């Protein structure tokens, strides 16, 4: 099998299971934290790393919000069986980076893994995610090139794959939809908050051998859970968040 075909096949496999593979990666932080020595951690360094972690994750989530809020219907969303693209998105955030959702996902994961306070673990997971997303992006781009041919090639010549460039920014063809964000991203918000709370509690346990303490992260998790449940109820039992022409 040619290398190109091998990369595309692997990318399509990762695309199909892109919801499950991150769960496996998340589980890997448990042994990483058990093998991390937190006893001599400088409190000022811990506060600095915490702030950077939160900023990274928040930035990643903001990138996802901007992307989801300006995405039309008929594009690849949570589908897993095959690639979907009824039109080529080239305006808005897609005029500065070709894969904004994957950029946002990486920044979120960078924030979570940095919050483990283990630099080597952060580097390893960053490498794993690069290989993982590189294959998915390769498969998606093969699909788009076959479907849109010269239009797609001309777009790729102007817009970088993963690291944004603002020199060719083109305003979004669609207005930002807050409803789309509320409808699609409440579960992602809850997952991020859960991840930080889980790491916070596991580190506290490793330092104090106590899970029963009520920490600030628990209050934030409960608030996020309530918000997610309310939005899920609205989504499934009302039409308040429905919109035509949106994914």
Distance CA 125, CA 116 (A): 11
Does the residue 219 lie in any domain? no
Q: Is residue 194 domain-resident?
A: no
Is 184 inside any structural domain?
A: no
Structural domain contains residue 222: no
Question: Coil, helix or strand for 40?
Answer: coil
Counted domains in the chain: 1
For residue 81, the model assigns a pLDDT of 53
Coil, helix or strand for 195?
helix
Q: Is 237 inside any structural domain?
A: no
**CB-side exposure of 202: number of CA atoms within 13 Å?**
19
Q: Is residue 171 part of a domain?
A: yes
Task: Reply yes or no on whether the pLDDT at 134 is more than 60.
Answer: yes
In a domain, 166, yes or no: yes
51 neighbors 196 (Cβ within 8 angstroms)? no
For residue 183, the model assigns a pLDDT of 92
pLDDT (mean) for 181-210: 94
Percent of the chain residues topping a pLDDT of 70: 92
Region of residue 117 (left: phi > 0; alpha: psi -120 to 50; beta: else): left
In a domain, 233, yes or no: no
From the centroid of its chain, how far is CA 148? Answer: 26
The tokens describing 5, both together, are 């075909």
Domain that holds residue 48: 3-177
């Amino acid at each position: 099998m040619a290398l190109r075909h091998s990369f595309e096949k692997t990318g399509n496999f990762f695309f199909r299971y892109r919801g499950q593979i991150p769960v496996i990666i998340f589980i890997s932080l448990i042994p990483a934290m058990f093998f991390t020595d937190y006893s001599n951690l400088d409190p000022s360094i811990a506060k600095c790393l915490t702030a950077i972690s939160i900023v990274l994750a928040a930035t990643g989530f903001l990138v996802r919000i901007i992307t989801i809020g300006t995405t039309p219907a008929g594009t690849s969303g949570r589908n897993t069986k095959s690639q979907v693209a009824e039109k080529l998105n080239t305006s808005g955030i897609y005029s500065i980076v070709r894969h904004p959702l994957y950029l946002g996902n990486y920044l979120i994961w960078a924030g979570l893994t940095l919050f483990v306070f283990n630099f080597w673990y952060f580097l390893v997971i960053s490498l794993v995610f690069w290989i993982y997303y590189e294959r998915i992006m390769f498969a998606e781009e093969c699909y788009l090139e076959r479907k849109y041919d010269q239009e797609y090639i001309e777009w790729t010549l102007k817009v970088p794959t993963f690291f944004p460039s603002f020199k060719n920014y083109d305003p979004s063809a669609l207005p930002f939809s807050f409803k789309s964000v509320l409808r699609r991203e409440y579960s992602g918000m809850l997952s991020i908050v859960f991840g930080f709370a889980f790491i916070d509690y596991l580190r506290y346990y490793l330092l104090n051998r106590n899970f029963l303490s009520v920490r600030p992260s628990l209050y934030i998790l409960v608030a996020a859970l309530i918000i997610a449940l309310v939005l899920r109820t609205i989504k499934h039992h009302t039409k308040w968040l429905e919109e035509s022409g949106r994914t």
